[in-house]
Amino acid sequence: MKKLLLRLFLLALPFALYFGVFVAFDPADYFGVNGAVTADNSMVTRVKRFLEDPQDAVILGDSRMAHFDMALVEQVTGRPWSNLAFGGASMNESVDLLELALRTNPDIDTVVFEASFYTLREGDARNRTDAILTAVQNPVAYLFNFNYNADMLQNILENAKHWMDPSYIVGEATDTGHWTDADYVDENGAPLPYRRNLIEYAGTIAGVCEGYAVNEENLAAVAALAQVCEEKGIRLIYVMPPVDGAIREYVFDGLALWDDLAYIKQTLAATGARVLDFEYEPSVTFTEDQFYDGFHLDIVTGLPEYTRILFEEVMA
C-alpha cells in the first residue's frame, strides 16, 4: 500500500509542480493569487470579473476600447463600468459578449459599443466566444489550454528579463512612444509626411483591408442591437474610434473607403441610436504626437484626453 501511495505521489508531483508554476506566472491571474499587473487586459479575466460582479454600464470593442483607464472613466462619468473589450476582438465576439452581458445583468442601462470600418470588414469571421466562456467557467479547461500556457511561459520570460535587469518592468504598457528625430525622416534623412511607425502601421492595415467590403451580415447584427437596447430601455452609443492622418491618407484615400465609411455611419444612425464619430467625420481630431500608432492613442499624450472627451459625450 505504501509503495502504491508513493507511486501515485511521484506520478502526481510533476502535475502539482506545473500547476504551481502556472498559477504563479499566469498573466491573467485567473485564480486571483499572483497579482499580475497584466491581468486587467485579459479577455478571460474581464469576462470572469463581469460574471462575478456585473456593472450596469458596459464597454465593448477591440483594443481601442480596451485600453481606457477605467478609474478615469469612472471619475468622468461618476459611475462604475464593466469593460468587456479586449485586444483583437472581432465584431462577432463583441456582439456575443453584449448578448451575454444582457442575459447576465437585466439592469444594464448604458452600452458603449465600438463600430469601426476595420472590425466591420468582410472576411473577418473570427469568433472565440465559446472558447472564452469555457475557460471562464472551467478552471481545468483554462489550465490546459495551449494559448494560456503559452502566455504563462512568455510571462516567465518577462520575469526572467526583470531578474537579469531590474530596470525592465514586467507588463509595462507599450502604447507610449519616445520618439527621436530619426523617426521623422527616411533612410536618406529626408522628412517623412508622417512619423515612420505611423506609415508602417498604415501599410499593414492597408494590406489587411485590400479589396475592402463591408461585412453586411455583421453590420446588420450591430444595427439590430439598437432595437434590442431600445426595447430594454438601454442607452446604446456606437463609437467610431479615432485614426491618425496616415490611416486617412494611405487607407481611406488609398483604398477609396470613404463611401464605405459613410454607409456604415448612415446605417448605424438610421437605427436612432447615438453615433459618436471620431473616424469618418471626426467631431474632434488628435495630433500625430497623440497617437502611438495609426489606431491607438498614446496612453500618456493622447488617450486621457480622448477618454474625457468620449465619456463626457456618452453622459451628455
d(Cα 103, Cα 98) in Å, to the nearest integer?
9
Contact 192, 199 (CB under 8 A): yes
Tell me 298's DSSP state. -
Q: Which residues pair with 91 in a beta bridge?
A: none
253: confidence class by pLDDT, cuts 50, 70, 90: very high
Contact 109, 80 (CB under 8 A): no
pTM: 0.88
Q: Is the dihedral of CA 273, 222, 113, 55 positive or negative?
A: positive
Higher pLDDT, 305 or 144: 305
Q: Could you report the per-residue pLDDT of 112-169, keeping only the tens digit for each?
A: 999 999 999 999 888 888 988 898 888 888 888 888 888 888 888 877 777 777 766 5
d(Cα 234, Cα 257) in Å, to the nearest integer?
32
Place of cell 454607409: 263
Q: Is the dihedral of CA 142, 145, 147, 148 positive or negative?
A: positive
**High-pLDDT (> 70) share of the chain, %:** 91
pLDDT of residue 3: 64
- pLDDT greater than 60 at residue 308: yes
Q: How far, in Å, are 120, 219, 273 from residue 267 at the CA level?
A: 12, 8, 10
Largest Cα–Cα separation, the chain: 80
- pLDDT greater than 90 at residue 36: no
For residue 112, the surrounding DSSP H or E stretch is: strand 110-114
22: confidence class by pLDDT, cuts 50, 70, 90: confident
Q: Could you report the per-residue pLDDT of 195-216, keeping only the tens digit for each?
A: 999 999 999 999 999 999 999 9
In one-letter notation, the amino acid at residue 90 is S
Q: Could you report the per-residue pLDDT of 182-191, keeping only the tens digit for each?
A: 999 999 899 9
d(Cα 3, Cα 7) in Å, to the nearest integer?
6
Contact 294, 247 (CB under 8 A): yes
Number of H helices, E strands in the chain: 13, 5
pLDDT of residue 197: 96
